[in-house]
């Protein structure tokens, strides 16, 4: 089991951007900063390799502004995959996401566990 405290994730709409001229997609500056912060937080952790995983996320927004919790999940999974915490995010069999109290600066508490699907 691994427990991480990460910055409040950007929405997927702020993580990925589209170039209108070429129709290509790229990661925004906000997305790159989030990825970098996740990589720093995960740098000394034991990797999960190709194990099946369960994830529990607790989102504490920095402000009372409304947001969709499902809009935050993909940015987190992409950043943890890029940080090589696991081989691929298809390994995740269970995800629980909970909206928590507002917290100054915002944060994401995430618990990742190996699971057996035998």
pLDDT of 113 reads: 97
Mutual angle of helices 29-42 and 70-82, in 10-degree steps: 60
pLDDT of 12 reads: 77
d(CA 54, CA 116) in angstroms, rounded, equals 10
Helices (H), the chain: 12-15, 29-42, 70-82
* Domain spanning 2-114: CATH 3.90.1640.10: no
Length of the chain as a residue count: 118
Q: Identify whether the C-beta of residue 62 lies closer than 8 Å to the C-beta of residue 103.
A: yes
Q: What is the mean pLDDT of each run of 10 residues along the chain (118 residues)?
A: 95 69 78 94 94 97 94 92 95 96 97 83
Q: Is 18 exposed, middle or buried (0-12, 13-18, 19+ CB in 10 A)?
A: exposed
Q: Model pTM?
A: 0.87
pLDDT of 118 reads: 44
């Amino acid at each position: 089991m691994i427990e991480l405290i990460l910055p409040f994730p950007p929405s997927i709409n702020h993580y990925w951007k589209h170039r209108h001229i070429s129709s290509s997609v790229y990661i925004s500056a906000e997305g790159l900063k989030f990825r970098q912060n996740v990589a720093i937080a995960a740098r000394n952790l034991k990797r999960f390799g190709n194990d099946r995983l369960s994830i529990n996320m607790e989102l504490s927004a920095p402000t009372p502004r409304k947001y969709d919790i499902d809009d935050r999940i993909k940015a987190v999974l992409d950043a943890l995959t890029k940080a090589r915490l696991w081989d691929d995010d298809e390994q995740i069999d269970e995800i629980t996401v909970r909206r928590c109290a507002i917290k100054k600066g915002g944060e994401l508490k995430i618990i990742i566990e190996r699971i057996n699907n035998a």
